[in-house]
């Protein structure tokens, strides 16, 4: 329409001119939206002033007045610091949850296509059970029904030097810092850089000569070697500590608190059932001709799966699986139901401790939005890297 031959403007009345109309429509729309927002903001400010509630974000500097279990946070620290602990806890459960959910999800998804009838049906049973129960019910069940019902610390189930399972949580061996970690951190960075360089070198060599690149093996080996040498050179800054049963809790190692364990397991099991369906769908979506072609060129079953089917299935499944990762992160807000001190729980407690609700919730939503956008950014980069050039 815009490229039509220029017409004498006086012949087009303003109310029939598409450009004018579009402009007017958008202005009206924007004025309407802005007016609504202004009205709401005006109401909020008016109500806050009337009730004598501060309007800014200064409250973040106030002392929190509550302690956070399983952290060094003390009640004298500020509400702002509490939120930072909350972000850390949210990320802690989300990232580990994402890893667990992916592993379980891929295994179950492949199992759903197994040739073994029993395996196939078991996987289907798992998926249909967990997909159709609200994630909050699953989390509550694990917390109230399983983790808190574990034997008390006095009668803890123990595998010496490995595991202590009680209703105070699950303790596993973990590295404790015993020396200066800075030098080793530097070595780790150098090792990582070296691994990347080796990776690029192997890839280039493969492109040039076609010889097997084995870049995973090479890069991983280089990284491990440098880390091992650096570890001892820096004077062994970490040592593996084994959990031991104490009077009221466990010492040494790493203790998953009951809340953390229940939230993690619940989120992972629920999300895995969705990921399994995506994996299954993606494998089925690879055209049958691809497998037939792989057979025709004489690839073995494993080669067919590894080099032909899975890479293509993986490509299809990245966007929906990324979506599930986002969901898992957002569902970690259900930690509030079992008092796991992540972002939402800390915001809720802050509000109970006289933090202004409006600002606290706006900040909460802002932080979640930021985390969501970061995850989306990473997965979009991965997706772009995987998309075959020239196809969509």
Partner 1 sequence: MATQIDVLEPLPLPEGPPERRLPPREWVRENLFGSVFDTVLTVLFGLFLAWAAYRVGKFVFVDANWEIVERNLTTLMVGSFPRDQLWRLWAALFVLAASLGFGAGAIGAQRRREVAEGRAQPAPKGVAARRLAPVVLLVGVLLWFSGSLRNVVLVLAVAAVGALFNLVGRRAPRRLERSVPLLVLAGVLLAFLLVVAFGGVKWSDWGGFLLTIFLAVGGILMSFPVGVLLALGRRSSLPAVRLVCTGYIEFIRGVPLVALIFMGVFMIGFFLPQGVERPDNIVRVLVAFVMFTSAYVAEIVRGGLQSVPAGQIEAAQALGLSPYRTTRQIVLPQALRSVIPALVGQFISLYKDTSLVFVVGLAELLTIAENITKQPDFLGQGLIVETLVFASFVYWTGSYWMSRESQRLERRLGLGER
Contact residues for partner 1 (CB under 8 A)? 22, 25-27, 29-30, 33, 40, 43-44, 46-48, 50, 110, 113-119, 122, 128-129, 131-137, 140-141, 144-145, 149, 283-285, 287-288, 291, 301-302, 304-305, 309, 326, 330-334, 336-337, 344, 347-348, 351, 357-358, 361, 364-365, 368-369, 372-373, 376
Give the single-character DSSP code of 55. -
Lookup: tokens for 280 = 């299954």
Q: How far is the CB of 164 from partner 1 (least distance, A)?
A: 23
Cβ proximity to partner 1: between 183 and 358 the closer is: 358
* Cα angle: 222, vertex 97, 151; to 5 degrees: 110
Q: How far is the CB of 13 from partner 1 (least distance, A)?
A: 18
Phi and psi (nearest 5°) for 140? -60, -40
Q: How far is the CB of 271 from partner 1 (least distance, A)?
A: 14
Cβ proximity to partner 1: between 155 and 161 the closer is: 155
Q: How far is the CB of 71 from partner 1 (least distance, A)?
A: 21
Q: How far is the CB of 128 from partner 1 (least distance, A)?
A: 6
CA dist., res. 246 & res. 261, Å (int) = 20
Cβ proximity to partner 1: between 45 and 233 the closer is: 45
Half-sphere exposure of 263 (CA within 13 A, CB side): 29
Q: How many Cβ atoms from other residues are within 10 Å of residue 246's Cβ?
A: 12
Q: How many Cβ atoms from other residues are within 10 Å of residue 294's Cβ?
A: 18
Cβ proximity to partner 1: between 223 and 328 the closer is: 328
Lookup: tokens for 5 = 């031959």
Q: How far is the CB of 56 from partner 1 (least distance, A)?
A: 15
- Report CA Rg, the chain: 28
Cβ proximity to partner 1: between 77 and 122 the closer is: 122
Contact yes or no for 277/109 (Cβ under 8 A): yes
CA dist., res. 294 & res. 290, Å (int) = 6
Cβ proximity to partner 1: between 217 and 365 the closer is: 365
């Amino acid at each position: 329409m815009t490229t039509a031959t220029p017409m004498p403007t006086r012949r087009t009345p303003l109310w029939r001119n598409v450009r004018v109309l579009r402009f007017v429509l958008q202005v009206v729309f924007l004025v309407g939206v802005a007016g609504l927002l202004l009205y709401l903001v005006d109401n909020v400010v008016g109500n806050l002033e009337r009730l004598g509630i501060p309007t800014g974000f200064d409250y973040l500097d106030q002392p929190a007045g509550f302690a956070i279990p399983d952290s060094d946070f003390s009640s004298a620290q500020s509400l702002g610091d509490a939120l930072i602990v909350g972000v850390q806890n949210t990320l802690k459960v989300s990232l580990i949850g994402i890893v667990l959910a992916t592993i379980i999800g891929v295994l179950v998804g492949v199992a759903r296509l197994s040739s073994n009838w029993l395996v196939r049906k078991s996987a289907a049973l798992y998926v249909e059970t967990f997909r159709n129960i609200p994630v909050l019910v699953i989390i509550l069940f694990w917390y109230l029904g399983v983790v808190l019902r574990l034997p008390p610390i006095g009668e803890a189930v123990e595998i010496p030097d490995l595991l202590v399972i009680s209703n105070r949580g699950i303790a596993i061996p973990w590295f404790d810092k015993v020396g200066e970690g800075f030098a080793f951190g530097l070595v780790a960075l150098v090792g990582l850089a070296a691994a990347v360089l080796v990776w690029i070198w192997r890839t280039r060599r493969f492109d040039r000569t076609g010889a097997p690149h084995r870049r995973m093996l090479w890069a991983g080996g280089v990284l491990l070697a440098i880390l091992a040498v650096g570890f001892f050179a820096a004077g062994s800054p970490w040592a593996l500590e084994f959990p031991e049963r104490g009077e009221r809790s466990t010492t040494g190692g790493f203790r998953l608190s009951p809340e953390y364990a229940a939230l993690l397991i619940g989120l992972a099991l629920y999300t895995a059932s969705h990921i399994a369906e995506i994996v299954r769908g993606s494998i089925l979506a690879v055209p049958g001709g691809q497998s037939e072609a792989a057979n025709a060129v004489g690839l073995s079953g494993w080669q067919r799966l590894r080099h032909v089917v899975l890479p293509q299935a993986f490509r299809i499944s990245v966007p929906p699986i990324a979506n599930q990762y986002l969901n898992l992160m957002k569902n970690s807000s259900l930690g509030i139901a079992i008092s796991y001190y992540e972002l939402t729980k800390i915001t809720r407690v802050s509000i109970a401790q006289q933090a202004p609700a409006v600002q606290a919730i706006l900040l909460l939503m802002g932080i979640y939005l930021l985390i969501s956008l970061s995850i989306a950014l990473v997965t979009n980069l991965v997706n772009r890297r995987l998309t075959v050039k020239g196809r969509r």
